[in-house]
């Protein structure tokens, strides 16, 4: 994969449609992103994150920072690639045992990890337990999600913990183009 920049507009907040933007710089095995958005109560925040992974799209490092009106918060996660996690102080995070991928709210980029790592056949559905990080609070918890490959460049995402579903069109690198009602890729 050649280095490239990708931008999305967050469109989930009804009163602030397309106010904000994520700017992601993607390189082989690494992503560096800044997202400006509004939380569910309409308060602005900035999320920056850096992710590093191996050749099979197995995540190894995640460094996240949120800045909002209350100050700055940081979260560091390290994975051994076998479903075991530690925080930035090298403390074991047993509640994340069995999580192989990360899903960060609010970005569509992290949907790429199970899409690229699993290499599903068309029609195949698979469930994944994710380390689900929620910004701006930067909380992390396990969450079960399923992906079904609908065709060459389209997947069905399902949250097993809720009734949320979305079709995800992806580009040639398996990166989400648009996420209906949540994000729109900017040209």
Residues 113-168 pLDDT 10s: 999 999 999 999 999 999 999 999 999 999 999 999 999 999 999 999 899 999 99
| Enclosing domain of residue 176 | 4-186
Render pLDDT for 109-119 as a digit per residue (tens, 0 to 9): 999 999 999 99
As a whole number, mean pLDDT of residues 16-42 equals 90
Percentage of the chain exceeding pLDDT 90: 86
pTM above 0.85, yes or no: yes
User: pLDDT at residue 16 above 90?
Assistant: no
- Give the per-residue pLDDT at 13: 67
Looking at the structure of the chain, the number of domains it has is 1
Render pLDDT for 42-89 as a digit per residue (tens, 0 to 9): 899 999 999 999 999 999 999 999 999 999 999 999 999 999 999 999
- Give the per-residue pLDDT at 102: 97
Interatomic CA distance for residues 67 and 47, integer angstroms:
7
User: pLDDT at residue 19 above 90?
Assistant: no
Whole-angstrom CA distances from 164 to 146, 159, 167, 183 are 11, 5, 11, 15
- Give the per-residue pLDDT at 1: 67
33 confidence band (pLDDT: 50, 70, 90): very high
Per DSSP (E only), the strands in the chain are 4-10, 21-27, 30-38, 44-53, 59-68, 71-79, 85-87, 101-105, 125-134, 139-151, 154-159, 165-169, 183-186
Question: Could you tell me the strand order of the sheet in which 4-10 lies?
Answer: 85-87, 71-79, 59-68, 44-53, 30-38, 21-27, 4-10, 183-186
């Amino acid at each position: 994969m050649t280095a490239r920049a990708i931008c999305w507009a967050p469109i989930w907040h009804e009163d602030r449609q397309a106010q904000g933007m994520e700017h992601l710089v993607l390189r082989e095995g690494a992503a560096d992103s800044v997202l400006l958005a509004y939380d569910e109560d309409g308060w602005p925040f900035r999320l920056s994150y850096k992710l590093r992974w191996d050749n099979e799209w197995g995540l190894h490092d995640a460094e996240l920072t949120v800045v909002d009106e209350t100050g700055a918060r940081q979260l560091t996660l390290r994975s051994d690639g076998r479903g075991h996690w530690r925080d930035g102080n090298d403390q074991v995070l047993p509640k994340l045992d069995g999580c192989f991928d990360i899903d960060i709210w609010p970005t569509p980029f992290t949907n790429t990890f199970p899409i690229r790592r699993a290499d599903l056949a068309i029609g195949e559905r698979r469930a994944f337990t994710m380390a689900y990080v929620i910004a701006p609070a930067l909380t992390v918890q396990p969450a079960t999600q399923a992906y079904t490959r609908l065709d060459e460049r389209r997947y069905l995402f399902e949250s097993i913990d809720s009734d949320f579903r979305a079709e995800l069109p992806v580009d040639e690198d398996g990166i989400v183009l648009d996420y209906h009602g949540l994000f729109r890729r900017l040209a």
